[in-house]
A and B are shown apart, each in its own frame.
Chain A
Amino acid sequence: MTGFVLAMVVFAVSLSKSRRLETLEDSVLRTNSVSPAARLGGTATLEQSSVSTAVVDGQERGAGRRAGNIGMSLTWLSMFLLGAALASRGLSAHRLPWGNMYEFSLAAGFSVSCAYCVLSLKRDLRWLGLFTVVPVLLDLGLATTVLYTDSEELVPALHSYWLAIHVTAAIICVGAFTVGAALSALYLVAERAESRIEAGQDAGRIGTLAKRLPAADRLDLMAYRIHAFMFPLWTFAVIAGAIWAEAAWGRYWGWDPKETWAFITWVIYAAYLHARVTVGWRGRKAAYIALAGISAIMVNYFVVNIIIPGLHSYSGVK
């Protein structure tokens, strides 16, 4: 078992190292890539997907392209390493590795990188790499330093097959919502740059970043698709939690702080979906709501687990 623990620690450390290398590569991408004036030169204000692909292709020259490819490969490698770390943790504890905050953070980091890698199979997502890797790095950094706890058994309340169902669904959702939030944040950047260009002003530093991203409405569409796809799964995660609560605590809903914040997160994402079909709430405001949603998830994870006492206190953090 010690061997597993050691292997897992080594994995996590090597993971952090390779990720730092990757973020460096991505920043090389930012500085070295040629910035075409075509899209943001002010001529085309109506964005079409064909134009933005031309922009992305236009960037693919020399050092920029190489850096992006290296970054992508490193992300894939890191994802597999993280998966192996998770598996070894699970093997050493003889159970699914999501019983305390250290393990959950590992799993969430894995979920985010998985979501990113799977989505990148279908389309070029190298521009998104930096913005998904940094949150994962922060999460892993916290996990290995502050949240670390030995590989042990679980408290009796967690001895249930619902652990696999409820917590797995939550982990997958957190991963996907993080990528969605990154997309919403980038949409805000791109939209601000585009509106500045339309108003005839100089886009400045925001513009230099926006030039390397797809068009604003494409970002908005991608963010929407992820959120819409994941919202039923989040609903399922909350309801699975309620079914488990009925078997474990005697009631299916008791407004325990974690239940309350899961509900708050659900309501915020429901508001996001409503906003996207309401006149005047579609673009920037909907993106803000998506960011509010991921903030609620962060509060639910860090604040509720550690600071607020309740029935859900399985954090393992002393």
Chain B
Amino acid sequence: MSVLAWLRWLWRQLTSMRIALFLLFLLALASVPGSLFPQRGTAPAKVSQYIQAHPKAGPLLDRFHMFDVFASPWFAAIYLLLFISLAGCVIPRLVDYWNELRREPPVAPKNLSRLGVYESWISTAEPTGAVTEAALLWRKKGWRVRTGADYVSAERGYFREFGNLLFHLSLLVLLVAVGVGSSYGFRGTVIVREGYGFADNITQYDSFTPGRAYSVSSLPPFSFTLTKFHAAYQIGGMQAGAAREFHANVLVKSSPNAQAKSVRVEVNEPLRVDDVTVYLVGHGYSPEFTIRDSKGNVVWKDAAVFLPQDSNFTSNGVVKAPDSVPQLGLQGYFLPTVTSDFSMGPRSVFPAPNDPKVFLSAWQGDLGLDNGTPQSVYRLDTTKMKRLGIEELSPGQKWVLPKGQGVVEFTGYRQWAAFTLAHDPGKGWALVCAILAIAGLSMSLLIPRRRVWLRITQDAQGGNLCEVGGLAKTQAPGLPADVSRLVGLAKQIAPEVPSD
């Protein structure tokens, strides 16, 4: 078989319904591991934990992109093949549909009584005139008609195929919109403490993931300050501690010289400025400390972001004071409502700050900030440090470090809010495509395709036989109802003569 013939065979197979079915099953099956294994896109920390916990299976799964299913090449292969198959099927059908629209309804079959729904009656109306008038009445009801000498052919339901094509084409454009949106957009996250602000600049993001084609210099020049974060929790009952409300009050400036506007950002009401959408995605506590060295100089005075570990906001974090000599570091827990039961260690029992305490251990030595390797701001590297002691502090309390090494004062706490900033230029298109897809889908499934014919045959005795037959191309109910409606109209032109 020649190469061309082989390619043609391959193409016909790819665009067949059977392969479409197979690819659909494959797509569904391929999505399953994406829901069972942690995915890098949403929970990278969980992925590392999983690989560490499963030293044999972990790297193997990683090799097959099981932690990155939806961005993996084999998943892309499946949906790309599916869309090629779809395009290869839909484009010829577009041509067919166009030709069908230009054709007229077919001629009436010889024997109408063989059709699914059939009615007949005797009338004295004269065939040619009656047929033309009946055709006019039928056309008024939305049927496309063609008249012959003694028959009328009517057809309706052309929008069914239109809907089908619209749906499939919208899916194609939707895929393009999704791709363009992620390539030309970006996502970033930032944690902002109450009283502090954020300016939309690459250096201020905590994490930033641009699309392939996004250039960082296009970041719009807005900024905002978090004036207050408010959270309310359920007190008592089966769901005690569940969050009931949170919102962040921010002052937004769309450019450095613009007027500041006060905006409230909530879970379902993001801040939209300059094509970038800012979402409130999390919050926590940042205890404030003032650290003095052995000579009494203030070496650190700030609010340290502590990260929540559970739903009651048991938070842990770290303070690094590199300016003291020798360097000092703190690590420990902030508990908004401290538990009275320490059998499982320091824990919080309620997310609101009803009885806040910090539990700290102080370290002295070399923080390791000068050795060139980057460090996490939430981890203390204690390899070159020695522990000075541990202490429990309430707000306002001071801790005098042993041997006069300094003083740590827990001056208070404030909340922080985490924001995700996202820019997706394709999402408007994606929405339009999705809406068109639903419209097309509804049309393709709900509009019935029907053909109805009327024939008036002249009888020698003067009583003309009027026959109406209907054929449904789909299995939707309602053909008999349609036919009897048309019969009713036809009977207005060619009234029934009672048989003697």
Contacts and interface: CB of A to CB of B under 8 A. Distances in A.
B31 A156 contact: no
Nearest to A271: B24
B442 interface: yes
B39 interface: yes
Contacts of B434: 239, 242
Interface residues of B, number: 54
Contact of A156 (B42, B267, B270): B267
Contacts, number: 131
A270 B23 CA distance: 11
A281 interface: yes
Nearest to B17: A278
Nearest to A163: B268
B234 A232 contact: no
Given A152-B234, A156-B245, A247-B270, A270 B24 contact: yes
A260 B244 contact: no
Interface string A258-297: 0011011001101101110110110000000000000010
Interface string A300-318: 0000100010000000101
Interface string A86-104: 0000000000000000000
Contacts of B245: 156, 159
A236 B476 CA distance: 22
Contact of B427 (A239, A246, A271, A277): A246
A260 B35 contact: yes
Given A152-B234, A274-B20, A278-B17, A250 B422 contact: yes
Interface stretch (A67-75, A191-199, A221-229): A221-229
A153 B242 CA distance: 9
Contacts of A250: 187, 270, 277, 279, 281, 420, 422
B246 interface: yes
A47 interface: no
A20 B172 CA distance: 49
A118 interface: no
A243 interface: yes
Query: For A231, A232, A235, A318, which residue has the most chain B Cβ atoms within 10 angstroms?
Result: A232
A251 interface: yes
Contact of B34 (A255, A275, A280): A255
Nearest to B421: A250
Contact of A278 (B21, B281, B445): B21
Nearest to B70: A255
Nearest to B476: A225
A149 interface: yes
A254 interface: yes
A157 B267 contact: yes
B244 A248 contact: no
Interface residues of A, number: 55
A243 B430 CA distance: 10
B244 A153 contact: yes
A149 B239 contact: yes
Contacts of B178: 253
Contacts of B34: 255, 260
B267 A152 contact: no
B268 A159 contact: yes
Contacts of B234: 152-153
Given A264-B28, A278-B17, A304 B445 contact: no
Interface in B442-500: 442, 445-446, 475-477
Contacts of A254: 41-42
A178 to B, nearest CB: 19
A252 interface: yes
B285 to A, nearest CB: 18
Contact of A155 (B27, B242, B441): B242
Contact of B279 (A231, A249, A252, A255): A249
A303 B392 CA distance: 42
Contacts of B424: 251-252
A124 interface: no
A160 B422 contact: no
A202 interface: no
A267 B242 contact: no
Interface string A164-184: 000000000000000000000
A141 interface: no
A280 B22 CA distance: 13
A189 B244 CA distance: 50
A8 B42 CA distance: 39
A228 B448 CA distance: 12
B100 interface: no
B103 interface: no
Interface in A124-172: 149-150, 152-153, 155-157, 159-160, 162
A256 B187 contact: no
Contacts of A248: 267-268, 279
Contacts of A153: 234, 244
Which A-B residue pairs are the 3 nearest by beta carbons? A257-B35, A250-B279, A160-B268
Given A156-B246, A248-B268, 16 more contacts: A149-B238, A155-B244, A156-B244, A156-B245, A228-B446, A229-B445, A239-B435, A239-B438, A250-B277, A252-B431, A261-B31, A261-B35, A263-B31, A267-B24, A271-B25, A281-B21
15 contacts: A149-B238, A155-B242, A156-B266, A228-B446, A232-B442, A239-B438, A242-B434, A250-B420, A254-B41, A255-B34, A256-B42, A261-B31, A267-B28, A271-B21, A316-B239
Interface of B: 17-18, 20-21, 24-25, 27-28, 31-32, 34-36, 39, 41-42, 69-70, 178, 187, 234, 237-239, 242-246, 266-270, 277, 279, 281, 420, 422, 424, 427, 430-431, 434-435, 437-438, 441-442, 445-446, 475-477
